[in-house]
Amino acid sequence: MAISSWALLNNNASISSMHTVVTHMNTVIMLDHTNTGPSAIKLLNGRCRNQPAERISKVDCYAHSIMFNPGNNQVRPLYVYTDTWCSSGQFFNNGRMVQTGGDFEGNRKIRTLQPCGAGGNCDWVELEENLVTGCWYSSNQLLPSGIQQIIVGGRNTPSYEFYPKRRAGEGFYNLGMLGGDNNLYPFVYLLPNGDLFVFANRNSVQLN
């Protein structure tokens, strides 16, 4: 029997990772929240984040997201404009990351990142389009098309909505079993028949 062991790849990833995802380009994207002051890595080329709604550093030249390259154990700073604390996300089938919601000024935001290889310069893009409702501790699930996600629940959000929207002006849909303020990161699974199994607290439903 082979014996496995832990190995330290990098002594300091420069941020405290709240969310971590591995991309199909063999890179790792890490996200932290923005409202605790400077991280341990500055944005590149003297870039700074000017965010009047930020509660700590309204002019912030430090990164709160990074791309980690496991090949050489190096990190590259990435730029996020609004607070991603307790946000949620999911990949499209083309590898694009969609990341939604967060705290305070980030509550209704949609961000995307098209992953690149270790030598690339991909970065977060914050869309002008907003979510219909605020999403904090929500869950994202890729739908069978591979190019659409459903965003379910979250604190004080007993509802779900789609991204992208299925038609112009589409809003959100109530889901009563998510009532209350403690349905944080509900469990959402895509079933073989295309329905969703949603489980939160002690309640569950099969949603068409």
Quick: pLDDT tens for 118-139.
889 999 999 999 999 999 999 9
Residue 1 has pLDDT above 80, yes or no: no
- As a whole number of angstroms, the distance between CA 31 and CA 19 comes to 5
Choose the final residue of a domain: 108, 130, 152. 130
**Same domain for 91 and 152:** no
**Same domain for 98 and 51:** yes
Pairing of strands 28-31, 19-22: antiparallel
What contacts 92, CB < 8 A, 6 or more positions away? 98, 142, 146, 147, 149
pTM: 0.91
Asked if residues 66 and 113 have their Cβ atoms less than 8 Å apart, the reply is: no
Q: Is residue 7, in this structure, part of any structural domain at all? A: no
Q: Is residue 205, in this structure, part of any structural domain at all? A: yes
What is the predicted pLDDT for the residue at 42?
A: 96
Asked if omega into 164 is within 30° of 0 (cis), the reply is yes
Quick: pLDDT tens for 12-69.
999 999 999 999 999 999 999 998 889 999 999 999 999 998 888 899 999 999 999 9
- As a whole number of angstroms, the distance between CA 113 and CA 105 comes to 19
**Same domain for 82 and 54:** yes
Choose the final residue of a domain: 90, 111, 130. 130
**Same domain for 116 and 106:** yes
- Cα-based angle 82, 108, 155 (whole degrees, multiple of 5): 105
Asked if residues 64 and 32 have their Cβ atoms less than 8 Å apart, the reply is: yes
Token representation of residue 144:
């069978």
Quick: pLDDT tens for 172-207.
999 999 986 678 999 999 999 999 999 998 899 999
Q: Is residue 66, in this structure, part of any structural domain at all? A: yes
Quick: pLDDT tens for 99-122.
999 999 999 999 999 999 888 999
Average pLDDT value for the chain: 93
Domains of the chain: total: 2
**Same domain for 82 and 178:** no
Choose the final residue of a domain: 101, 130, 159. 130
**Same domain for 119 and 16:** yes
Q: Is residue 90, in this structure, part of any structural domain at all? A: yes
What is the predicted pLDDT for the residue at 181?
A: 64
Domain range for 113? 12-130
- Residue 160: band (very low, low, confident or very high) from pLDDT cuts 50, 70, 90: very high
Q: Is residue 5, in this structure, part of any structural domain at all? A: no
